[in-house]
Each structure stands twice: as C-alpha cells, then as structure tokens.
Structure 1
Amino acid sequence: MTGQPTDLAALQRRLVEFAAARDWEPFHTPKNLAAALSVEASELLEIFQWLTPGQSSAVMADPGSAHRVRDEVADVLAYLLQFCAALEIDVLAALAAKIDRNEERFPRPGRPGDPPAG
C-alpha cells in the first residue's frame, strides 16, 4: 500500500498531475486517450484470448497471470479516468445515469408470485 488516497477523484487528480508534470497534456487529447484506452482493453483481452471458460475463470489463481490482469485493469481504468478528465465527464454520474437507463430499457422479469405489472 502506498499510503496514497484511493478514492476515484483523488486517483484521477494524481493521473492528471502525473501527466502535467511530464508535459504530456498536448498528447492527452480525447482521441489519443480513447485510442490508448482501446489498446489497453485489447491487452487485457489478449490475456484471455485462447483460454477455455474454465481457464479464464481461474486466471487469478496464478500469480503471474493475476499480476498481468491487475496491471491491465489499472491501465484501462487510468486511461478511462484521464479521458473523462479531458472531457469533464463525471464518470460515476455517467455510470449511474447509464444504469438508470438500462433498468428502464431492460425491466426485471417477473418472478413466480410477483404481482402483475401495472
């Protein structure tokens, strides 16, 4: 543990400050960040590419593959947070709104004993 804050907003600020300290802002355009996000997501997928469903479910049992998965997940999240910072998107508000829309689009199916809808 680094002793650094781990809330999402603090991590997002750290990423922005990290890039600023290295003068990377000119390269952190929405297009470049979206491309980098796609590349990192593909690197995560590559770990699972030829695994069976059972092997993919057990990937975290192997320390080497677990480390790779955690690193790629971190890279995906880092680029997503930087992308959101560049476009001033509140990632948690965007996610909450999307869940709300999905709950309307895909209502929970009735279960035996549930009262009829309406």
Structure 2
Amino acid sequence: MTGVSEGESVTLEELKKKLAKFAKDRDWDQFHSPRNLLLALVGEVGELSEIFQWKGEVPKGLGDWKEEEKVHLGEELSDVLLYLVRLSDICGVDLGKAALRKIELNAIKYPVKLCKGSSKKYTNHSNNVIDNNGNSAESI
C-alpha cells in the first residue's frame, strides 16, 4: 500500500521525509554520504539506460511496450528519483527550488525567439552570448 490515492500527487518534501525515515529506521544514515548516494544514483541511471539500450527510438507513451516493461521502467525511474531526492536532502539542497531556478536560467539561455524548434546548444545560437553565470548578452 502506497498511502497515496489514485490521481493524488506526491511532493518532493513528502518523498524526502519518507526516505529519511526509511534510512533512519534501518540505521542507514551512516552509509548515506553524498559520494555513496551519488554512486548509487549513477548505478540506477545505468539500469534505466539498459531498458532503452537496444530499442532504438521509442514513441511517446510507449504504446507498443508490454505492461511488465512499463512497470520495470517505472521502478527504475523511481530508483533514480529516490536517490536524487535523498542526495539533495543530505547535501542540504532544496531540489524543488533548485529545479525552478534552473528552469529560469534555461529560459535565459534558450530564448523562444532564438530556439523555438531547434535542438542546438545555447552556445550555437546566433546573436546570443551566455556567460558562465547564465547571463545573456547580445553578441557584437
């Protein structure tokens, strides 16, 4: 039982608290250093990658996937998310706020008028120079 009703959202804060309790109940805090959590996260990203490794391009919605493949994907995505949330908590980073800030910085790097419909990296957009702090300036 998950404790979440169908259609109900879960916040990062709720996940953070559940993970902290889960680790504390098992006396695992001693193992949850930033380095260890990062390495575990990388391992889980590898497992997630293996799901897609030989499939070629995959359509949105995964319409041709078997149900057990979708369940496995959900488990691996969850592993990645959980380690990321735990790592951010141990490092004292508010992941939600950091993510919103990053979206704002990306909006500066990738202005709609220069980037719409393009997959080019921000450094390849004409008339757009971005410094190391994400500040945009018109090129000369």
Number of residue equivalences: 109
Q: Quick one: distance in 2 between partners of 1:16 and 1:79?
A: 11
Letter in 1 for 2:3: G
* Equivalent position of 2:98 in the other structure: 94
* Equivalent position of 1:11 in the other structure: 15
Q: What residue ranges of structure 1 are gaps of 5+ in the alignment?
A: 112-118
**SS of the counterpart of 2:87?**
helix
TM-score by length of 1: 0.84
* Equivalent position of 1:68 in the other structure: 72
Q: Which has the higher contact order (CA 8 A, sep 6+)?
A: 1
Letter in 1 for 2:21: E
Q: Quick one: distance in 1 between partners of 2:102 and 2:40?
A: 23
Q: Quick one: distance in 1 between partners of 2:49 and 2:56?
A: 13
Distance 1:33 1:59, change over 3 A: farther
Contact 1:81/1:91 (8 A) holds in 2:
yes
**SS of the counterpart of 1:52?**
coil
Letter in 2 for 1:24: W
Letter in 2 for 1:37: L
Give the fraction of aligned pairs with identical amino acids, expressed as a percent.
35
Residue by residue, what CA displacement relative to the aligned partner does 1:23-55 show, whole Å, maximum 9, x if unpaired?
Answer: 1111100001111111101100100001121xx
Distance 1:60 1:11, change over 3 A: farther
Residue by residue, what CA displacement relative to the aligned partner does 1:53-107 show, whole Å, maximum 9, x if unpaired?
Answer: 1xx2237731111011000011000000000110111001100111111111111
Q: What residue ranges of structure 2 are gaps of 5+ in the alignment?
A: 117-140
* Equivalent position of 1:80 in the other structure: 84
Letter in 2 for 1:49: Q
Letter in 2 for 1:95: A
Q: Over aligned residue pairs, what C-alpha RMSD do you find?
A: 1.9
Distance 1:48 1:30, change over 3 A: same
1:107 to 105, 111, 129: 111
